Structure 1
């Protein structure tokens, strides 16, 4: 066998080896993508179902039914998380369900997870702002004295993200925090800004009345 033939055979073997390697790699990648897509689809289904259950829990006037819907929403959130642990949506759904069930500390931990890397990267500015306001509310409900400074940080960030543009809640909570900290001028400003967003806000008016403004 001449050197030229040996070289050609060697090149042919190398080409075939590269072909099969690329083929196997492509097949493995495709299989992984299909698996991930199925998992994401299933996670989305659990999340959507859980969100509907959460809405029903909030809207029903009967406590027993409300609690049952909240528990089922929590189950759906946990199923979604088992499939997509880095998706912030199920973490937030879990937090809101736990809050309705009265498990404030666990709800706070779930919001912490949603607002921590890498989950937080998937949130829009509005979603992040909403989560920050809810986390601040939970912090104040659990231990106002110890967590007020941390709550203020969340609320200030939420306001910067535009969370308070259509909802006075963030400004009202911020006003209450400043009032508790003895920062009268800042509290008045926050309550007044709440009224610019919602002129009918009773919380804002009550806050201004307490501060004599």
Structure 2
């Protein structure tokens, strides 16, 4: 059998290397596109379930019938859970779940969902307004679950919340109440005054100032 010349061997090796490079270049974009398409499909499905859940939550909050509200809130939680099964780190779905659980009176579970939504890196997807609103809600739940033990944590959330969104009367009112509980009267008055700047007809802020002045 005639031996191949060294030049022929080099040419064959070069040809094989060229073919291997071509296959890599051809297959990688195909795999990347397949993954992108899969992610896009999951995001689309998650968004649909999130919107369904948001509509259910809105109806639950607006109805006057407790049984109907609970039924709608349960369905909202289910929609949020499906969205999270598709996108586990979706902060918006975690917040939706927390708000629906709050309607059901499950405050501890709601707090856990908000904790997850506000933890890095999940919270990076939230705008300043969204993060501020979520912080105010978490502070409200903390005070409702255990005011004495969670007052400092709630206060920290509220300070950050009002720094993100100055036009949040509820945040300022809760901040004033926290300062009032801690005996920080000047800070409490200032917070209530800020609330009145945003919402001049706020009875909570007005009553807070009246208490502190008496």
TM range (shorter): over 0.9
Per-residue deviation at 1:55? Answer: 0.5
- Which residues of structure 2 form unaligned runs of 5+? none
Residue in 1 aligned with 2:183? 182
Residue in 2 aligned with 1:202? 203
2:9 is the alignment partner of 1:6 = yes
Per-residue deviation at 1:3? Answer: 2.7
Question: Normalized against structure 2, the TM-score is what?
Answer: 0.96
1:20-31 matched pairs, under 5 angstroms:
20-31=23-34
In structure 2, how many angstroms separate the alpha carbons of the residues matched to 1:133 and 1:82?
A: 26
In structure 1, how many angstroms separate the alpha carbons of the residues matched to 2:193 and 2:158?
A: 16
Moved over 4 A (4+): none
Equivalent position SS for 2:213: coil
2:170 is the alignment partner of 1:169 = yes
Question: Normalized against structure 1, the TM-score is what?
Answer: 0.96
- Which residues of structure 1 form unaligned runs of 5+? none
2:131 is the alignment partner of 1:128 = yes
Per-residue deviation at 1:26? Answer: 2.2
Per-residue deviation at 1:29? Answer: 1.7
Give the structure with higher Rg (CA).
2
Residue in 2 aligned with 1:93? 96
1:74-113 matched pairs, under 5 angstroms:
74-113=77-116
What count of residue pairs does the alignment treat as equivalent? Answer: 211
In structure 2, how many angstroms separate the alpha carbons of the residues matched to 1:68 and 1:204?
A: 34
Equivalent position SS for 2:119: coil
